Amino acid sequence: MKGINILFFLSSIWALSSSLDTIPVNQPLTDRGTIISSGGKFKLGFFSPGTSGKRYLGIWFNKVTVQTVVWVANRDSPLKDTSGALNFTRQGILTLLNGSGRVIWSSNSTRRVQNPVAQLLDSGNLVVRDAIENYLWQSFDYPSDTFLPGMKLGVDLNTGFRRFLMSWKSTNDPSKGEFSWVIDLHGFPQPFVMNGSIERYRSGPWNGRGFSNAPSLLPSPGYNYTYVSDQEKISFMYQLTDSSIFARVAMQLNGVLQLSMWNNQTQNWDGFVSVPADNCDIYGQCQSYGLCNSGNSPICRCLDKFEPKDPTEWARGNWSKGCVRKTSLNCQKEVKFSKYLGIKLPDTRFSWYSRGVTLNACEELCLRNCSCMAYANPDVTGTNEGCLLWFSELMDIRQFGGSGQDIYIKLDSSELGNSSRGKVKKLVISLLLAALGLLLALCLILYLRQKKKKDRNQQHFSKGRGTRSPEMFCTNESKDEELDLPLFDFETISHATNNFSLSNKLGEGGFGPVYKGMLKDGQEIAVKRLSRYSAQGTEEFKNEVIFIAKLQHRNLVKLLGGCIQAEEKMLVYEYMPNNSLDWFLFDTNRRSLLDWPKCSHIINGIARGILYLHQDSRLRIIHRDLKPSNVLLDTHMNPKISDFGMARSFRGNETGAMTIRVVGTYGYMSPEYAAEGKFSVKSDVFSFGVLVLEILSRKRNRGFLHPDHNHNLLGHVWILFKEGRVMEVIDTQLRESCDQSEVQRSVHVGLLCVQQCPEDRPSMASVVLMLSSDVVLPLPKEPGFFSGRSRITEADSSSTKHGETSVNELSISQLDAR
């Protein structure tokens, strides 16, 4: 102990007499010692904030009369007295020791070099380097509450390492406080000021010059910005053009992010820019589709062509419910775009972005995707083409005027009046009206014939079940083949579901509500009731009837009949007492009921059901919406694929097609379908692969987060597979009951199914074989949407240029929400 004290004493004599900017190896810097950067701008040493009495190792401005700390090493582990010392080892590691010699903070450099150097630079960066200036560690990688010139904030996409600011807890306590400034990677990246997990302020996406929602932070003669977004990193940095200026960006105790510069005349810090600066800077002040203008009273109004969702509360100044379109969107009707000028671009977390896409091509992409709400070119420099699409309600918008940007929001065509093609449309309408009379006459004849046929069938309604269906819809499919679909009368269904009571309601999707019921003979049923307000329900209803009435397989849900009476359209299915697969998978308690034998049985059953659709049914059918909620489980946990509202059929040797109406669900759509509208049997194979990996991991591909990287579930599993650590992805409870070789084979098959290129994915016939035998499996290639910001596809449509994207699967997959 005496030896340590002597060492500390000698080193303190060195520290007090030294003006070096380096820390010699094994010569500890004690509490009374400091080092100063070569230009004299920054000093490193020990300090006590306020009146706390606790000691911290930190860096502060040396030539500023008000001690302004910019970095704290041990912010969460204070020293109780002045006995601490900073030591630099021969291995190149900085260690902070307390009086008893215990390490309370360390730089933890992983690389080792000979003759390492620990140096405080004139930028305020404490670095550990080798002789040729390669950094082994630097304090700039671990910011406290201050963002200095030359420091980079952001994310390393290869490692997932993040650099962000976090406020002090109080003026006397530099430990991590409530507020942080981080770059959010969901959708198109954008910085946020966060209050814990709550958004406080949004800087908006980078527009080529600065962050779009912070026009006051544009480059000036005194400083400039550098923003990098590529496959390896996203980073933001600013530099001073005048080296004599002292500047800092600090996260204040109250959550205000402030850029300030030192004023030698007043001997104080002058704040130049602070955000949030006014009430309109507060995130989501006017909620969805609300426009905030701090110069108005009240500050919130709805965007043009929108109206308050709750007019009464809105008039009282309660804007929490936001605004809605005056005319709802209907993807089956014509939609157009209205241009809104000079605004703060909405929250981009649920968005998709691609470089090299013209504004016209961007409009076309948004038009053909039902769930696309708006588009814009985020780049204001005029040097780059770019396309940004939004796939959720538009949130956090404010009026900026000339410093704002333009956005094109999708509206019903009736809201925009006559277009430039109005005269042509009027001419077409006139011609159609001329033919309408003839058409009505023909329809009247058909109606009278159908009425006679319907009257003959009507007598069966009172018995509860009919024998055959009438022509339910005026479609080619129903005309070509009459469907053997038993009919139920409305009274029977109403009685079976207790008048569609809430206690009988099983759930609700894009089609409408689903109810449990019981017929008079005791048979349990599930009733899908088409919502009369559903925008897409009628087409889905037709699709479901046409397909499922023709399908008979133990792994497909069985259609028992239908009800078409007045405005009511309902489908009656066999009841599945064990609900849907997602009801088990993603519930902490229920997931334990799915042991490995049950999971294996479910995976194989789903595979056989899809194989039947692709190969063995009367028509080749592509489901297009395979997901856990569309896999129902019967009494014996047999899986049954349901919901064929999105399905498409093919004849002969056809295996796929193109569509301009991309439909599906977040996280399950294949890359080629999501990006270009190309769907095939391999699209279902991709969805099946996602299902398999979700079953084994009990985690959703959609919204998957990992602390060590930015990949989705597919990418995470692929990385572990390549490293031979595939069992780490398996749910802990599932490992206890599993056959390790069978589970590893299932993961392997799942990865083969989710490969980026559809040509690389196996057919469902091969999948069934691979799951049920010991055939040798090929190595999987990179999965689709690999990296949360992956390339969508290697091939571009004719209307767009190829370019890198910064999109994750959350941003593009749910194009027809269900």
Q: Residue 434: what pLDDT?
A: 65
Distance, in Å, from the CA atom of 138 to the CA atom of 425, rounded to the nearest integer, reads 66
CB neighbours of 33 closer than 8 A, spacing ≥ 6? 11, 12, 14, 15, 16, 18, 45
pLDDT for the residue numbered 424: 57
The model's confidence at residue 694, banded by pLDDT at 50, 70 and 90, is very high
Q: How confident is the model at residue 423 (pLDDT cuts 50, 70, 90)?
A: low
Q: What is the average pLDDT across 680-706?
A: 92
How far, in Å, are 22, 625, 788 from residue 391 at the CA level?
53, 18, 17
766: closest CA among 577, 545, 607? 607
In 635-753, beta strands by DSSP E:
639-641, 648-650, 656-658, 678-680
Q: What is the three-class DSSP state of 134?
A: coil
Identify the three-state secondary structure at position 24: coil
Q: Which residues of 706-741 are buried (b: 16+ CB within 10 A; e: fewer)?
A: eeebbbbbbbbbbbbbeeeebeebbbebbeeebeee
Choose, from 31, 625, 731, 816, the residue flagged as catalytic. Answer: 625
Three-state secondary structure string covering 66-132:
CCCEEEECCCCCCECCCCCEEEECCCCCEEEECCCCCEEEECCCCCCCCCCEEEECCCCCEEEECCC
Cα Rg, the chain, nearest whole Å: 32
For 413-459, where are the E strands, in sequence order? none
In the 8-state DSSP scheme, what is residue 558? P
- Of 111-115, 242-246, 367-371, the range with the lowest mean pLDDT is 111-115
**Average pLDDT, integer, range 492-500:** 92
Q: Cα 47 to the chain's mean position, in Å?
A: 43
- Residue showing tokens 């028992």: 560
Q: How far apart are the first and last CA of the chain?
A: 70
Please tell me what DSSP assigns to residue 217: G
Give the mean pLDDT of 749-766: 94
As a whole number, the mean pLDDT across the chain is: 83
Q: Identify the DSSP state of 407.
A: E
Query: Mean pLDDT over residues 409-422, rounded?
Result: 73
Q: Which one is predicted more confidently, 225 or 41?
A: 41
Is the Cβ–Cβ distance between 788 and 712 less than 8 Å?
yes
CA gap 512, 568 in Å, rounded:
12
Higher pLDDT, 662 or 241: 241
pLDDT range class, residue 603, cuts 50, 70, 90: very high
Tell me 191's DSSP state. Answer: E
199: β partners: 194
> What does the pLDDT look like over 349-408, one tens digit per residue?
999 998 889 999 999 999 988 889 999 999 988 776 899 999 999 999 999 877 789 999
Q: Is 270 known to be catalytic?
A: no
Quick check: 792 pLDDT over 60? no
pLDDT level of residue 348 (50, 70, 90 thresholds)? very high
What is the rounded CA–CA span in Å between residue 165 and residue 472? Answer: 62
Per DSSP, what are the bridge partners of residue 227?
Answer: 236
User: Which 8-state DSSP code applies to residue 523?
Assistant: -
- CA atoms of 67 and 59, how far apart (whole Å): 10
Q: What is the pLDDT of residues 121-170, one digit of tens each?
A: 999 999 999 888 889 999 999 999 999 999 999 999 988 899 999 999 99
